[in-house]
Amino acid sequence: MKLAIVVDSSCGLTKKEAESRGWHFLPLYLDIDGKEYRDGIDITSDNFLDYYKPTSIGKTSCTPIGEALQLIEDLSKKNDFVVIYPISMELSSQYNNLEVIARQFKNVYVIKSKRVCQFITKDLVELEKDVLSNELTVKQSIARIEKQNYSQVDTLLYPKDISVLARGGRLAPSAAKLAKLLKIFPVIGMQDGKLEKFDKGLTFNKTFYNTAVEQYKKVSKKKQRAILFLDTNNENADDMCKELVEKTKYNGIVIRKPIPPVIAIHTGYGAISIFFVDFKLDIKEYKL
């Protein structure tokens, strides 16, 4: 059986990294100060800050329909199954666009995504393992992904400059203005695929530690768990990551990465995000 896996750049992989896994890649598009770039191709985490400055105006858009159709049509002809795992359907119209295309092909499936970043990579590694080892069919493995407990907040986002969220439409301008006036730092949790208000505090670092440690205690019950610690040019990130590990008495794997460009463009400079991730396989198999 031939299985093709397709990701978009919200998973945090570049086109080159996705292809090294044998996967196929659809870039989301970035508009920075009026110039358009392909995420994961023209701009990656390595060069993102060469293009995106603290004063930049950034926007994102879906993969052009024609570009997505060409790839999917080609893969449909060459494979028994094509599985596409895009950015959360609650954050972008990417899923809806791809689902419209997929309806034209009997062997193409778009996962009803409620994930971003390394969660997508993790789920696909497990799907690939399940299917190729004949543990589950493609449809059964997709069903397993879609039936996960998305109501549990296992991702926290700490934006340092909330005006960026307001400019991108992720936070009401009035709320951003009030938060800035009162010097409040919001905490955003990802729940059911959406970015929702989770908590708030008066200082960035204290708010981070209080909420991150408390949430870790709530969700950290499994041995095969890792902490993903992502940031966008936060000068204190390494020290904060180290202190979080000390405060939680965590002795597992910590993965440090930049926030992917398509997410960072909406969270701005200094943002931090942490993910508490459960793994079905040995963590090394995920190559995160």
Q: 192 is written with which tokens?
A: 């059911």
pLDDT score of 142: 97
Confidence of residue 167 (pLDDT cuts 50, 70, 90): low
pLDDT score of 183: 65
pLDDT score of 17: 98
Evaluate whether 3-146 and 155-286 have a shared fold: no
pLDDT tens for 75-105 read 999 999 999 999 999 999 999 999 999 999 9
Q: Is the pLDDT of residue 36 over 80?
A: yes
What 8-state DSSP symbol labels residue 99?
H
- Rounded CA-CA distance 234/236 in Å is 5
Q: Is the pLDDT of residue 220 over 80?
A: no
pLDDT score of 197: 83
Closest of 176, 177, 17, 125 to residue 188, by C-alpha: 176
pLDDT over 70 percentage in the chain: 91
Q: Is the pLDDT of residue 186 over 90?
A: no
Characterize the bridge pairing of strands 194-201 and 225-231. Answer: unpaired
What average pLDDT does range 9-27 have in this prediction? Answer: 98
pLDDT tens for 115-152 read 999 999 999 999 999 999 999 999 999 999 999 989 98
pLDDT tens for 235-247 read 999 999 999 999 9
Characterize the bridge pairing of strands 3-8 and 24-26. Answer: parallel
Is 120 in contact with 21 (CB distance < 8 Å)? no
Q: Is the pLDDT of residue 184 over 90?
A: no
pLDDT over 90 percentage in the chain: 71
3-state helix/strand/coil string of 185-222:
EEEEEEECCEEEEEEEECCHHHHHHHHHHHHHHHHCCC
**pTM for the whole structure:** 0.92
pLDDT score of 152: 87
Q: Is the pLDDT of residue 39 over 90?
A: yes
Which residues on adjacent β-strands are paired with residue 36?
Answer: 31
Is 80 in contact with 282 (CB distance < 8 Å)? no
Helix (H) or strand (E) holding 102, with range, is helix 94-102
pLDDT score of 202: 84
CATH fold, domain 155-286, is Hypothetical Protein Tm841; Chain: A;domain 3 (3.30.1180)
pLDDT score of 221: 64
Range 3-146: architecture per CATH: 3-Layer(aba) Sandwich (3.40)
Looking at the chain, the number of H-run helices and the number of E-run strands are 11, 13
Q: Is the pLDDT of residue 108 over 70?
A: yes
pLDDT score of 176: 54
Each domain of the chain, given as residue ranges in start order, spans 3-146, 155-286
pLDDT score of 241: 96
Is 88 in contact with 115 (CB distance < 8 Å)? yes
